[in-house]
Amino acid sequence: MSEASRVPVAELIGVTREYRMGQNLVRALDDFSFTFGRGEYWAVMGSSGSGKSTLLNVLGCIDRPTGGDYKVDGISTARLADDELSEVRSRKLGFVFQSYNLIPQLNVLENIMVPLFYQDDPPEDGEERARKLAERVGLAKRLDHKPTELSGGQQQRVAIARALVNQPALILADEATGNLDSATALEILALFDELHAEGRTIVLVTHEPDVGERAQHVLRLKDGRIESVKRGQRNAAGAGA
């Protein structure tokens, strides 16, 4: 596979995200252009305040750039209405958060199915898919447990299953291992490695160098701009240090 044969999944074209704080104008993303290709596993790193979360929010279509355009799986988002953007999220994107963010009143199975619930035309086999995913992340026996009855690692597994249920084009994770002890974090990272091996596209924001090491490629930010791009092997199935 050559550089030219990369299929773009997420394309940022001169994206700017400005925050106005009184008199000051903060540029969380500054004329940012970058392309994430299909099947790639990226770690986004950088110092605090460099714009990592902002980038991930833009990639996840929950934040709108103030300038430029962002294309996800070929769809240009700059002119989409709020509802259309929501539909893009429920079809194309999968989120894994630092603090798991499961919905407390729903059980494991229901939590996994949430993204399907919001699709305009939900698939018929949603529940079956959710069960398979629960099995895959090792929670087949806890389908009717509520999030409060699970450990942090188990909750994050549910969150990963939820991020996969809509078969997204892009999986986004912000500090997904930040709240976990190192053993559990390793399990979660192993899960990401598996997903990568299956050919899924992953963008993972992290502070920790060893987490960054495990990813295929590393993108470093500084003050809302790209500081460096470090590419690893092309098709590194289960890329390890």
Ligand X SMILES: Nc1ncnc2c1ncn2[C@@H]1O[C@H](COP(=O)(O)OP(=O)(O)OP(=O)(O)O)[C@@H](O)[C@H]1O
Q: Residue numbers of the site for other proteins (CB under 8 A)?
A: 57, 60, 62-63, 82-83, 86-87, 89-91, 93, 95, 97, 101-106, 114-115, 117-119, 122, 162, 166
Residue 25 found at the interface with ligand X (CB under 6 A) = no
Q: Are 95 and 160 in contact (CB under 8 A)?
A: no
Cβ-based nearer residue to other proteins, 113 or 221: 113
63 binds, options other proteins, ligand X, Mg ion, none, Cβ within 5 to 8 A by partner type: other proteins
Give me the phi and psi of 93, to 5 degrees please: -125, 150
CA angle 6, 10, 13 (to 5 degrees): 100
Residue closer to other proteins by CB (options 13, 62) is: 62
- Is residue 26 part of the contact set for ligand X (CB under 6 A)? yes
What is the footprint of ligand X within residues 40-99 (CB under 6 A)? 46, 48-54
Which of 4, 21, 25, 183 binds ligand X (CB under 6 A)? It is 21
- 147, interface contact from ligand X, Mg ion, other proteins, none, CB < 5-8 Å by kind: none
Cα-trace Rg, the chain: 18
53 interacts with Mg ion by CB under 5 A: yes
Does an H or E element contain 12, and which? strand 8-21
- The Cα 44–Cα 22 span in angstroms is 29
Report the alpha-carbon distance of residue 134 to residue 157 in Å, rounded: 8
Q: Rounded to the nearest whole angstrom, what is the least distance from the CB of residue 235 to other proteins in the complex?
A: 30
Q: Is 66 in the site for Mg ion (CB under 5 A)?
A: no
Q: Return the number of the residue (26 or 186) whose C-beta is nearest ligand X.
A: 26
Q: Which does 197 bind (CB under 5 to 8 A by kind): ligand X, other proteins, Mg ion, none?
A: none
Task: With beta carbons less than 8 A apart as the criterion, state whether 48 and 182 touch.
Answer: no
Token couple for 225: 């701009």
And the tokens for 88?
A: 């893009």
- C-beta of 230: minimal distance to ligand X in Å? 18
Residue with tokens 């299956």: 198
Tell me how far apart the alpha carbons of residues 204 and 174 are, in angstroms, rounded to a whole number.
6
From the CB of 153, what's the least distance to other proteins, in Å? 19
Q: At what angle do helices 126-136 and 108-117 cross, to 10 degrees?
A: 130
Which residues contribute to the site for ligand X (CB under 6 A)? Answer: 19, 21, 26, 28, 46, 48-54
Binding footprint of Mg ion on the chain (CB under 5 A): 53
